[in-house]
Each structure stands twice: as C-alpha cells, then as structure tokens.
Amino acid sequence: MTSPFATFDLLGMPLARADSRAVLDHMFASLAEGRGGWIITANLDFLRRHVHDREARALYSGADLCVADGMPLVWAARLQGVRLPERIAGSSLMLPIAERAARDGRSIYLLGGEPSANAKAAAILRERWPALSLCGASSPMVGNPPSAAEAAALRAEVGGARPDIVLVGMGSPKQEHIIRALREDLPNAWMIGVGMTFSFVAGTLSRAPAWMQRAGLEWCWRLGQEPRRLARRYLLEDIPFSFELFTRAAWNRLRPSATPNTD
C-alpha cells in the first residue's frame, strides 16, 4: 500500500508526517474500501532495533505506515529539519480507535497483554461504548517469534472472528511477528501493536503525567513502575542509542547535500 502521507527518512526508517486524526481518517477510509493495513508506532527502542538488528529491520519493513511514537524521534526529526505535527503514541490511539469503531460499526479484537488486563480493558470498552463490536479478546502464550503451531492457532482463533481491527499488546518485536503471521488471513483488517496499552486502559499500570510525556520523560515513569523488566532496555540500550540518533540526525542536517525526504 502506498502511504497517503509525506514521509522522511530517520536513520533508514521511513516515518509519516501526519497527526493522529489523519492516521485514523486514513485507516477508517481504507476499511470502508475493503482494504486493511499495518501501522507501527515507532519509539526509540523500535528505531534502535531497526538500525542495529537486520531481522527486526526486515520485520518492520512489512508495515504499511510508520509513525513517530516517542519524543526523541520528534526531536531528531527536528534536528534534520523536519517538523512533525505531533507524537503519535500507540497508547494514545486505542480509545480513539474504539470510539470511531463504535460509531462506524467496525469490530475490534484485543490480542495479548496480561489476561486480567486484557479482560478488564475489554470490559471497560464495552461499558464505555455499548455499540462497539468487540469480536474477541484473548491472551495466548506464544513464543518470540511464535512457533508454526502457535501461529496456526492464532490464525484460527483471530481469523475466525473476522475483526476489522486487531490491537496486539505483546511488546516488540513479538507483536510484530504475530501481526505478520496474521496478515495473510486478514488482508482487510488493520493491525496495530500497542505494547502495554491494555494495562493502561485497565488501570493495572498508569501512564506518565502529560507534562512528562511532552518532556520526553515517560521512560522515567515506566522505569519506576517496572525496573527489573525495563532497566537494561532503557539504561544500557536506549539511552546510549539516543546519542547516536541525535548525532547522526544533526550530521544529516549539516551535510551540504542533505535535504529532508518528503516522499
């Protein structure tokens, strides 16, 4: 699928210059035309894998649309001379998607997350939008990547529900492996990896205050909530990579031949 948005290149990853409303408009317009797709909301960790992990780069390249989820990406874009309309966080898309789906008569499947968080998030969505067609909610145990048998079971379960939208909350890159496994069976559905969003909606984890999100400090809040799981990723992998990101973005801006990529 050709992106309807202008894009620019950030360390080899093509990112759309779009705001969340335009992304949702495109998504639901495509559904009306019988077309599905795959959206990646790329944060610093996604970009690090894209740059340094060949397998992850090949996996992410299968998405139809990549947007910047993370203030470091927004700042790096600015260093390159590209101003993004906003940061588009996967965690901020779930409720607007559910609201729009309820209004447009579109069905949603919630896949992944902690079982209790998945069930509670589903209950909250049903209570908030009674007209919403929530055609399935499950938290299967699968490997990273899923085995052939696990992928077949997922295709049978989710494919049988025939959802219009699949929200996959399993963290990256597991959720992207799962989306890739499901796409052939659900070509008319839109799929988005949403990480820990089910836990945020359920209230078992809380998102950082808005000012921390705007200041690019959401990672500090998350580290405080789950230090054992996130310390290595944030402190030993992502923070060092951020220096590489900003250095290379500034260099791209200063190169005489450099011009923003706005396909």
Q: Is 263 helix (H, G, I), strand (E, B) or coil?
A: coil
Q: Give the confidence band of 171 by pLDDT, cuts at 50, 70, 90.
A: confident
What does the pLDDT read at residue 261? 52
Structure tokens at 171: 């963290």
User: Cβ distance 188 to 35 under 8 Å?
Assistant: yes
Task: For 108, list phi and psi in degrees, rounded to 5.
Answer: -130, 145
What does the pLDDT read at residue 110? 98
Q: Give the confidence band of 257 by pLDDT, cuts at 50, 70, 90.
A: low
pTM: 0.92
Provide the CA 221 distance to its chain's centre, in angstroms: 19
Using the predicted structure, report yes or no on whether residue 7 has a pLDDT greater than 70.
Answer: yes
What does the pLDDT read at residue 179? 96
16-34 pLDDT per residue, tens: 999 999 999 999 999 999 9
Instruction: Give how far Cα 47 sits from Cα of 2, 10, 186, 255, Å.
Output: 21, 9, 27, 22
Structure tokens at 124: 């909250």
Using the predicted structure, report yes or no on whether residue 212 has a pLDDT greater than 60.
Answer: yes
d(CA 182, CA 184): 6
Mean pLDDT (the chain, rounded): 92
All structural domains of the chain, each given as residue ranges with its CATH number in brackets, are 7-202 (3.40.50), 210-245 (no CATH)
72-101 pLDDT per residue, tens: 999 999 999 999 999 999 999 999 999 999
d(CA 215, CA 83): 16
Place of tokens 């990547």: 145
d(CA 72, CA 19): 17
Of all residues in the chain, the percent with pLDDT exceeding 90 is 86
